[in-house]
Chain A
Amino acid sequence: GAGVSQSPSNKVTEKGKDVELRCDPISGHTALYWYRQRLGQGLEFLIYFQGNSAPDKSGLPSDRFSAERTGESVSTLTIQRTQQEDSAVYLCASSPDRDNYEQYFGPGTRLTVT
């Protein structure tokens, strides 16, 4: 079946602009995660959604970062007033439920802030 999809695949933006990244999880997956991966580094947790529960925002690096999810479907990650240090690959993952630990990742959005 269809996997996790993300758009755009690449985004180049000027410093100070806002960007919106989109994630479509696997149908039926209630849990959704956003991660950031800087060049040559591991994945850094940003935010986690589980069903209609309040999201775990503990990984968001600053108040310029926010994310929303409508029910158990699409999620958007918004970065306001982008900075050069925001340049990274942003990965989205989903899993069937909070007790299923296997996460399935999308291809990522490569964000470049100039």
Chain B
Amino acid sequence: EDQVTQSPEALRLQEGESSSLNCSYTVSGLRGLFWYRQDPGKGPEFLFTLYSAGEEKEKERLKATLTKKESFLHITAPKPEDSATYLCAVQAKVSGGYNKLIFGAGTRLAVHP
């Protein structure tokens, strides 16, 4: 069964304290791995897509990496405005070729000044 597991469930950081969020997945026929940011009361906001092991993407203080079994979202010198829930999702090939995302439960990040 296709599955996505994110850890930790919650993470508290001091401003400037770098860390990493983990997304482990088991999926047959990975077509892409996605990172989203979700602020309270809002829909998820797209951050990155990774397609193959070894790929890396960067955006401001965030860098996403991908291996054959997991992805990491590295946060360098975080600021309070980086506080949000970070969601990981994988896109697997399903019958009929439909693009269905399978989401993890997310990591709630709180960055304190």
Chain A residues within CB distance 8 Å of chain B = 4, 31, 33, 35, 40-45, 48, 50, 56, 58-59, 91, 93, 95, 98-99, 101-108
- The docked-state distance in angstroms from the alpha carbon of A48 to that of B97 is 12
Residues in chain B near residue A105, CB distance under 8 A: 36, 43-46
Task: Report yes or no: B103 in contact with A43, Cβ–Cβ below 8 A.
Answer: yes
Task: Report yes or no: B105 in contact with A101, Cβ–Cβ below 8 A.
Answer: no
Task: Report yes or no: B101 in contact with A103, Cβ–Cβ below 8 A.
Answer: yes
- B49, B89, B99, B106: the one contacting A98 at CB < 8 Å is B99
- The docked-state distance in angstroms from the alpha carbon of A101 to that of B49 is 8
Question: How many interface residues does chain B have, given as a range?
Answer: 20 to 34
CB of B54 within 8 Å of the partner chain: no
CB of B42 within 8 Å of the partner chain: yes
Across the interface, name the chain A residue whose C-beta is closest to B51: A101
- The docked-state distance in angstroms from the alpha carbon of A98 to that of B111 is 37
Residues in chain A near residue B46, CB distance under 8 A: 102-105
13 contacts between A and B (CB under 8 A): A35-B103, A42-B4, A42-B6, A56-B96, A56-B98, A58-B100, A95-B99, A101-B31, A101-B34, A102-B34, A102-B49, A106-B43, A107-B43
Task: Report yes or no: B97 in contact with A91, Cβ–Cβ below 8 A.
Answer: no
Minimal beta-carbon separation of A53 from chain B (angstroms): 8
- The docked-state distance in angstroms from the alpha carbon of A56 to that of B96 is 9
